[in-house]
Structure 1
Amino acid sequence: MLQRTTIDTTVVPAGDRFGMWLDLVARTTAPLHIRTEHADDFSARAEQVALGPITLVNYRYPSLDGIRTEKLIRRSDPEMYLLALVGTGDSEATQEGRRSVLHPGELTFYDGSLPHRVRHEGGANGREDVRSVVAVIPHAMLPLPPQRLAPLLGGRMSGTEGIGALLAQFMLQVTTHPEQYHAADADRLGTVGLDLVSTLLGRHLVAEDAVPSDVRRRALATQVQAYIQRNLRDAGLTPQVVADAHHISLRSLHRLFEAEESTVASYIRDLRLARCRHDLADPGLRTLSIQAIAARWGFPDKAHFSRVFRAAHGVTPQSWRAERAGLAQIVNRPASTVNSPEAD
């Protein structure tokens, strides 16, 4: 699984918790002057996942107000951009004369090398904790020059639609379920996250041409694949439908998947077959007919599904299900029964 580093201030005495949090902030992002009404007992938690070129941090903490001053920057400048997703509570970001009030599901972007102010207030009039996920990105990693990014500092962007929604889902999924990925996936996932951030910023600048073409292509491929996975149950999902949903030509879609070493149709088919294989092997779905399982994953024609399944796996769906059911019985049978003469 991906390596996750967890910091929980409740492991130290109440009086030491705020200092522990200040040290964490200084190490993961950049030092801030922080004021809070909860300094006497600052119960907070941070879960950090390193993904090669970027780092994601899932935070939970009480209401606070943080300021990064010129003096702090001169003292320590890690040269990082931060893109923050508001999870719960309300936030306020101020940088370069721009001030934005943010609500859950919105994103903001700021530069740790420039003075800024952030304020986070939990729900129920500040009595509930704030939750946020932050992408920490080295300056050198973003393929956009600082002067082009200046108009976005301290601004707000939607995390519930388009590329913003895809990026928000990515940040939440990786930080809450790192066990679903292999350690070897870290660099590739970091590249995916960086591509999504770059494309989102380019869109908001109305200057997507400033984003390198290979970054745009990879981000679009990620967006298309996520769309296909969300709509896999729809039997009417075809390459043309996918192309239309992303406002590109069918030819452009096919070129996109050439770079992914696959075709659109085979990508859809293989995902559907994988879902069917999983359901056919699930003992909890034993009462569901093979035709019903096929139909729920976009194969309404039983004969067609059987042909496609056999071509891919060399056995019929019925044989696959029976074989998996037999293996499950062997695995779950008591050892004394498995080894007894009656079992042979």
Structure 2
Amino acid sequence: MMRQPDSLIDLSHLDRLRQVEAWDEYTWRESETTDRESALHDDTPFRSAAWKLKDIVLTETSFPVATVLRMNTHIRRARDDYLRLRIFTSGGGSALVDGSDVRFTPGDVSFMKGSAQIQMTASGRGIVGLYIPYDTIGLDPTRLPSHFALSGEAGAGRLISSALTSTLADMPGTRPNEMPALAAGIIGMLRGVLALTRPDDLARGSFQVLRWHAVKTYIDDHLDDLDLDVVRLCKVFNMSRSSLYRMFKPFGGLQVYLHSQRLDRCLDDLVISAPDRGSVRRVAERWGYFNPPHFYRRFRSRFGFSPSDAVEIDANLEQAILPSANESPTLDSASVLDCMAIVDSTTADSN
């Protein structure tokens, strides 16, 4: 089954003048082309394909040498609450982005704020693009420069470029029910990489370290997805099974890592659960443990006490926390030791 783009423009069947005019009509909300003479004499095709994946839009575009303007009039017509990502796979150019000189080099990953004014002269014979809302990847636009770029040779640039180009290559054969997982993968990958919000840190980071950070962030965001597995992670991050297995070897393997993280989430939920009948079962099933004896063994092996003991921790802590009317609750070391002793004693009794 071939999946068609959600938005496709291919003007190769038109004469050159009509191609230029049609392209202007297509892009008028975002920008406008001012150097028509150059565009008329360049044989690069006008083409844009866009796939909407949940909250993000992934694009593949080509256009001839042109001067492109994106000014306040365009910004007011379109949304500006997103980050624009561009990778020139060929071509390139230069621009003024909010008054700062910027160069677009093939292979580099460029980020521009949706609110940035741009005057760009470029040839886009192959551009991979991404529009992604700031809140989707947890970024505060007030802390970002109007433009920053990552070298395609650096770890972060290689990781982002590899993930997006492989996703584009897979799009024609992707089924609609697979689209949310692809979107989540791109979002998780970018959140993991851009968590290092200083561009200098991103540029210095090694490919392996940044990919590990991105994979870990993705896993943390999807621990409640019980279908999360090796196949999904390899597809999202364009990795081989052997690379993924090596990444998690220090943790005892991927499955061991997933179990440890899910058990940690179980503990977090249990200590804030009301000590009523069925609370342990509800928490266990929320994180994928449907066999109670199996869950109890795993939980005790990791923490040294039972899930039922964990439910009692919060009640004992409440007795130890005595906030005044105008102060936030505090916990002293003696109270912590008392609670630990209670857990230890109940664990010993149950043995």
- Bin of the TM-score, shorter chain as denominator length: 0.5 to 0.7
Q: Using the TM superposition, give the Cα deviation of residue 104 of structure 1 relative to its aligned residue in structure 2, in angstroms.
A: 1.5
Indicate how the Cα distance of structure 1 residues 82 and 242 shifts in structure 2: closer, same or farther if over 3 A, else same.
Answer: same
Q: Distance in 2 between matches of 1:199 and 1:98?
A: 28
What residue identity is the alignment partner of 1:78?
R
1:191 and 2:178 aligned: no
Per the alignment, residue 142 of structure 1 pairs with: 137
- The one-character-per-residue Cα deviations of 1:89-111 (angstroms, maximum 9, x if unpaired) are 22334324443323211110112
Per the alignment, residue 133 of structure 1 pairs with 128
Within-5 A mapping of 1:238-277: 239=245, 241-243=246-248, 250=252, 254-256=256-258
What is the CA-CA distance between 1:133 and the residue it aligns to?
0.7
Q: Which structure exhibits the higher relative contact order, with contacts defined as CA atoms closer than 8 Å and separated by 6 or more residues?
A: 1
1:101 corresponding residue in structure 2: 103
Distance 2:119 2:195 in 1: 24
- 1:51 equivalent in structure 2: 53
* Residue 183 of structure 1, CA deviation: 1.1
Matching residue within 83, 86, 89 for 1:84: 86
CA positional deviation for 1:60: 1.4
Q: Call closer, same or farther: CA 1:184–1:2 in 2, change over 3 Å.
A: farther
Partners of 2:159 and 2:31 in 1: how far apart?
A: 30
1:252-288 Cα shifts (integer Å, max 9, x gaps): 9843476698xxxxxxxxxxxxxxxxxxxxxxxxxxx
- Distance between the aligned counterparts of 1:59 and 1:229, measured in 2? 22
Tell whether 2:167 aligns with 1:167: no
Q: How far off is 1:242 after superposition?
A: 1.9
Separation in 1, partners of 2:239, 2:179: 23
TM-score normalised by the chain length of structure 2:
0.56
Q: d(CA) in 2 for partners of 1:15 and 1:176?
A: 31
Q: How many equivalent residue pairs?
A: 240
Distance 1:52 1:14, change over 3 A: same
Gaps of 5+ in 2: 203-209, 223-227, 263-286, 289-351
Q: Secondary structure at the match of 2:122?
A: strand
**SS of aligned partner of 1:11:** coil
Q: CA deviation at 1:156?
A: 1.4
Between 40-49 and 104-113, report the one with greater CA deviation: 40-49
Aligned AA for 1:174?
Answer: T
Identify if the C-alpha distance between structure 1 residues 214 and 198 changes in structure 2 by more than 3 Å, giving closer, same or farther: closer
Measured in 1, the distance between the counterparts of 2:11 and 2:109 equals 26
In our comparison, the structure showing a higher alpha carbon Rg is: 2
Report the residue type matching 2:79 in the other structure.
Answer: P
State the alpha-carbon separation in 1 of the partners of residues 129 and 74 from structure 2: 20
2:116 to 114, 117, 127: 114
After superposition, the Cα gap between the structure-2 partners of 1:253 and 1:157, relative to the gap in structure 1 and judged at 3 Å, is: farther
Quick check: 1:11 aligned with 2:4?
A: no
Read off the aligned partner of 2:18 and give its amino acid letter: D
Q: Which amino acid aligns with 1:6?
A: L
Q: Distance in 2 between matches of 1:115 and 1:228?
A: 32
Give the aligned CA root-mean-square deviation in angstroms: 3.9
**Partner residue of 2:32?**
32
1:141-179 deviation line (CA, Å, top 9, x unaligned): 33111112x23x322113344343232122222323322
Q: Distance in 1 between matches of 2:84 and 2:194?
A: 12
Quote the residue 1:335 is aligned against: none
What's the CA shift for 1:204? 4.7
Alpha carbons of structure 1 residues 217 and 23: separation in structure 2 relative to 1, 3 Å: farther
- What is the identity, as a one-letter code, of the residue corresponding to 2:103? V
* Distance across 2 between alignment mates of 1:229 and 1:66: 33
Partner of 2:71: 69
In 2: Cα distance, 1:216 partner to 1:230 partner: 15
**Structure 1 residue runs without a partner (length 5+):** 122-128, 262-344
